[in-house]
Structure 1
């Protein structure tokens, strides 16, 4: 990876896990990382309970919309992080692929989403330190 890395978060609906991960990475790394998110079968809207759970920690994703996964998005990314999208993600040599096994927040309330959100934030913090540590 040279310059500013691009990270793509992928889940099925791009309405929960990948939206939270992308928002945390943007929030924590700022302009040190380019952030994308997409879904293999995107929903019509971001899960409102996910929006509320993120709002509780000061991250506003209310204007985000689910996006369809494209080959171009994968090709443009240095790191591709999947979260339950199965084999729908194209594979390109030279990319770093991670699979984060996380519970799907679909159909769950804010109380059940909070631990998922917190685990995503923890993983994103580790990722930031690996790919875009703050300048000393």
Structure 2
């Protein structure tokens, strides 16, 4: 088989390559393609994951900071578990559903002040619970 090379200068050269060598090169390229495809199926791109809302910590974050953050999260999770259902629901509405105090008050038929006072009591309760962890 003849392969033509065209250089940037415009010069063209033709090289004769045996068919056996072409078959070997094509097989190698096919194996590389298959291998790359397997790898891309098994792994997720960080950029794609970030587009879907995943958050990754900074690479320069110290291990101690990561451990401390996990401990704080675990303690907070346990503290929330010790609250009553109504208190947990209010926390859920405010922090996870991002509802405003005004909309929660309207839904419950109470004043905004009552919701704010409830939240202050909840925060106080959480602080008390966290002291014992």
Q: TM (normalized to structure 1)?
A: 0.25
- Using the size of structure 2 for normalisation, the TM-score is 0.25
Q: Which has the higher helix share?
A: 2
Counting strand residues as a fraction of each chain, which structure ranks higher? 1
Looking at CA atoms only, which structure, 1 or 2, has the larger radius of gyration? 2
Higher relative contact order (CA 8 A, sep 6+): 1
